[in-house]
Each structure stands twice: as C-alpha cells, then as structure tokens.
Structure 1
Amino acid sequence: MSSTGQPEAMLFGDYDLPSGTWLDWHVHDDHHQLAWAARGVVAVNVGSAHWVLPPARALWIPAGTVHRTGSSGNAVLRGIFMDAARSPVSWPELRLVRVRPLLRELLDHLTAGGLAEDARRRAEAVAFDLLEPVPVTPISVPLPVDPRARQVADALIATPADPRTLDDFGRAVGASERTLARLFLAETHLSFGRWRTQARLRASLPLLADGRSLATVAERVGYSSPSAFAAAFHRAVGVPPGRYFG
C-alpha cells in the first residue's frame, strides 16, 4: 500500500517450483495475472490448452480464469497480479507476452521493493506499456473419455514419436480403427490425425524452451525432418518455432 492509501498497480509473488511440481487448479477473481518464469521454464494449463514459458515469455491470465501452473524442471514462478478494476491493460483472453530485456529488468526492479511512491508509479506505467503480445494459437490436447481411446492418448502423450497407426493401436486396445476414429472425433472434437499433431506439438514446447535444435525436437516428437516439424508447428500455432520463443 502506498503512503496515500492507494494500492500498488502491480503486486508480485515468487514461488519456487521444484521439478515436477504443479500448483492446484485455482482462480483469481479480481486480479489479472502475468505468469512469468523468473528462472527456469514454467508451464500453465488452462482447460486443455498448454503453455510453456521460458524467461523470454510470460502469459497474461485474465481475472476469473481457472488455471494451474507447474514445471518439469526446477523453476521460479513470478506472479505479477493487477487489480482488474484499475489495470490499464485489460485483455479479456489469454495472451502470450514477449519479455524483452527492458521489461525483465523493470519487473526485477519492481519486485525488489523499496521504491518511493512516485518512482514505483512511473516504473509500473512503463512496465504496462512494454506488455507486447505474441500472436499465437494455444496448443490444446483434450483427452478422450472412453477407456480404449484414452489408452491410445496416454501412450502418445508418453511417447509422442510412437509410429503406430490407429489400426495398430486398435489391435492393442481391442477396438477397430473406425471405432477409435469415431471416439476421438466425438470426445475431443479433433480427428485422430489432428489430435496426434497437437500432442506432438505440445511435447515439443519444453524442448524448444530448453534450446534444443529443431532436428533434435523433430526426432523426439515423431517428425521425419526439421522442415516437416517446423511446417506443422507454423500451421497450428501461427508462427514458426523460432518466433514462438525467440
């Protein structure tokens, strides 16, 4: 709280996320949040959409959005919370935000505290001005409910490069190829081929965030070449892999 009784426009909280830690699903009713990895790589789930955030990216989460946050490696999540009634930025939907070096320095500066009221207000205003959205489509991987289709989905999430066809999976789970195709479309609203692409692309995000080469990522998630992976990523997300995190 400032000396005039007016709350700060931005409130900050750092949360250690040891490898494999996920916070429970939760919602901030009256505050927008900017989720940012001050260290390491953080992931955010909203419904079936999955976001991966290295320090060069943050996620704008509008007030009232149910979400959960975690990390597959040791990380520090910095939550920047903004009163929805006072925030000069009020995007109504999730936005991936580019964190350039100047914005990062400002967020660190504001987190340290101890600023005079006028200095803090000026720094907050600049930080709001520097929020730059990256126009991307979130990668969603809804899960089927039927246990046979769910076995297939779980197998591909565990090993996205698994080369088996839907007919191969059908023999393994006791269902015909046609039945599995119908179940995926009815329960995920995606064809099996489209669902598999989404699962592979979601698996690629932490690898890309970790700085792996396109060749390595493509091989790990089941693509025959870096160019095939890059083309699939661009079609689905709207930007090439290098621009998603670069």
Structure 2
Amino acid sequence: MPTTSAIGLERFEMMRGETFHRHVHDEHQLAWASAGVLMVEADGRCWVLPPNLALWIPGGIWHATMALRETVMRGIYLDPAGVPAVWDVPTVVSVSPLAHHLIEHLAGDLAEEPRIRAEAVLLDILRPVTTSAIELPMPADPRARDVAELLLADPADHRSLEELAFAVRSSPRTLLRLFLAETGMTFTQWRVHARLQAALALLAEGYTVARVADLVGYASASAFVAAFRRVTGHTPAGYFSDGSAGSAGSAGVAGSAGVAGSAGPAGPAGSTKSDAASVGRGGLARARAAAGA
C-alpha cells in the first residue's frame, strides 16, 4: 500500500454544452459525472458517459470534456509517482455504488491514513467495461472523415454507402476499406455507433425511446432498442439505471423518465427531426473541434 496520498479530487458544476477544451496533464485522471452526462474525447475516440461509467485517462493523453446536460463532473487525479498507470490507454470503467460512495468519501476532510486506505480500495475495485461504452473512433482519411462528419451532422441520414461515396467523390469499396482500416469497425458498425451516441445525448435530455429512435434514423422503437442492446448489453433505460452496471439512479440523472420510454416526454416543446442533427453539430462535432481531432 502506498505511504502517501496520491489522489486529488475536483468538483465541477457544468452547464449543458460547457466544455473543457483540449488539454493534457501529467496526472492520470478518472473523468466521472456524479450527475448528468459527459462526453469525453481522448486519443482519437469519443465516449458518452452516464454516472454508471467513468473514463480512465492516462497521464500525457490529450483530451476534451463536454457536458451534454447540466452535469456535476468529478475529476479524480492520480499522481503517477504514487499510482502507476492502471491502463495505458483510455479505458471505460464501471462506477459501482461502492466506487460512488468511496469517491464521495474521498472528497471529505480525511486524515492521511484513512484517505490512503480508501484510495487503495477505490483503485482495487475499478473494473473495465467492454460492452457498455459506445465508442466512436474517427477515420483520418479525408474521404472517410467527410462521410463520418455527414453522418454525425445528421444521424438519421438514410443515404446508402453508394450515395455517400458519390457525395465525397470516392467509391464504396474504398470507403469500406478505409473505415475498417482506420476505425477497426465496418462501415455499418460505425454508422450504428454514430446513431447510438447521438441517441444517448437525446435520452439524457429526456426524449422518449420512440422519439429518439425516429430522430436517429430507426424505423421503430423496437429496432432501436435491439441495436442499443447489441452494442451496450443494456436497454436504453438500463444504461442509465442503477442496476448491475453502476449507480446512475442514485446519482440523480434527470430525464430518466424519458429514457424509460412511455412515462417520459416526447421531447422538448417544438422538437423536430433537426434536433438529432443539432446533436451532431452542437455535440459530437463541437467536442471534436475542441479536441482538434
């Protein structure tokens, strides 16, 4: 067990759209929203994180963070001299109810020995999540990236691969090759992830599952829920719940009625199909611009 305290904690109350622009520091960081929803861009990838998930960011990795709604962000900073890197790449971890309470405990005025013990327990219980996080790596080649930006700007864009290839003066075969080589996903997989990331932002705003399905391009709520479950291992409601994945419910995520579906609102008054496009332009695209990706 370390003999000196290695963790520093900061609390940030963030308005919707508020961004910590691209920056880097020597300390490892655990980026976590105790309430609300964070979008984090790091190492060429983007994650949407409700309170049951956090992102481990190794020291020396450039990153940007944005609140998708009113959010309380906890920045947990770890001195590399006292805590070696647990993971050497950005890694999504589950925030269990125990981890949640430990972080709140560490935010208090503790003597050094109790703090060291609590820090050791927190680091010991962090577990990577392989099925829940919706990652979205961006292609670097201008042709594939132009297609990616088109789909981020309008997740409900129903153009075929052939039509998108024509729009960027490329060929379907070339785009298929580029997406697989540069993102590790097939084009179809990447498109699904783009739609689901946009959906998370809308769900966090309180839109119903049915409305979100329509806004991001699914023919039915059941088709959307099936795609969501395939990628995350959860239903949309379960992703934000305080079940086995973590403590979002106890953290007080607003909009949970909308996530649940029938009990929630269809969306803010006057919401239209363009709302999903604004998620892409005002959310994912803005975070990437801030991160210089």
TM-score, scaled to structure 1:
0.77
Q: Are 1:184 and 2:175 matched, yes or no?
A: yes
Matches of 1:167 and 1:139, distance apart in 2: 25
Matches of 1:62 and 1:241, distance apart in 2: 30
| Partners of 1:141 and 1:199 within 8 A in 2 | no
| Partners of 1:53 and 1:209 within 8 A in 2 | no
Matches of 2:142 and 2:129, distance apart in 1: 36
Q: CA deviation at 1:83?
A: 1.8
CA gap of 1:92–1:169, structure 2 versus 1, over 3 A, is closer
Q: Which has the bigger relative contact order, CA under 8 A and spacing at least 6?
A: 2
Structure showing greater Rg: 1
Matches of 1:227 and 1:105, distance apart in 2: 35
Q: What amino acid maps onto 2:24 in structure 1?
A: V
Partner of 1:71: 67
Q: What amino acid maps onto 2:93 in structure 1?
A: V
Matches of 2:66 and 2:93, distance apart in 1: 18
| Partners of 2:22 and 2:64 within 8 A in 1 | yes
CA gap of 1:141–1:90, structure 2 versus 1, over 3 A, is closer
Q: How does 1:11-30 map to 2 (within 5 A)?
A: 11-29=8-26
Q: CA deviation at 1:44?
A: 0.5
CA RMSD in angstroms, aligned pairs only? 3.0
Secondary structure in structure 2 of the residue aligned to 1:59:
strand
Secondary structure in structure 1 of the residue aligned to 2:92:
strand
Q: CA deviation at 1:217?
A: 2.9
Partner of 2:225: 230
Secondary structure in structure 2 of the residue aligned to 1:154:
helix
Render the CA deviation track for 1:146-199: whole Å, top value 9, x for unaligned: 47x65543332122112233455567x474xxx342453354435543432232
Q: How does 1:42-81 map to 2 (within 5 A)?
A: 42-81=38-77
Secondary structure in structure 2 of the residue aligned to 1:229:
helix
Q: CA deviation at 1:88?
A: 6.9
In structure 2, stretches of 5+ residues that fail to align are 242-293
> What percentage of aligned pairs have identical amino acids?
42
Render the CA deviation track for 1:26-79: whole Å, top value 9, x for unaligned: 2233x2211011332111012342111222221111223222111232323211
| Equivalent residues, number | 233
Partner of 1:37: 33
Q: Which runs of 4+ in 1 moved over 6 A?
A: none
Q: Are 1:122 and 2:113 matched, yes or no?
A: no
TM-score, scaled to structure 2:
0.66
Secondary structure in structure 2 of the residue aligned to 1:20:
coil
Partner of 1:3: none
Matches of 1:107 and 1:95, distance apart in 2: 18
Matches of 1:94 and 1:151, distance apart in 2: 25
Matches of 2:53 and 2:20, distance apart in 1: 20
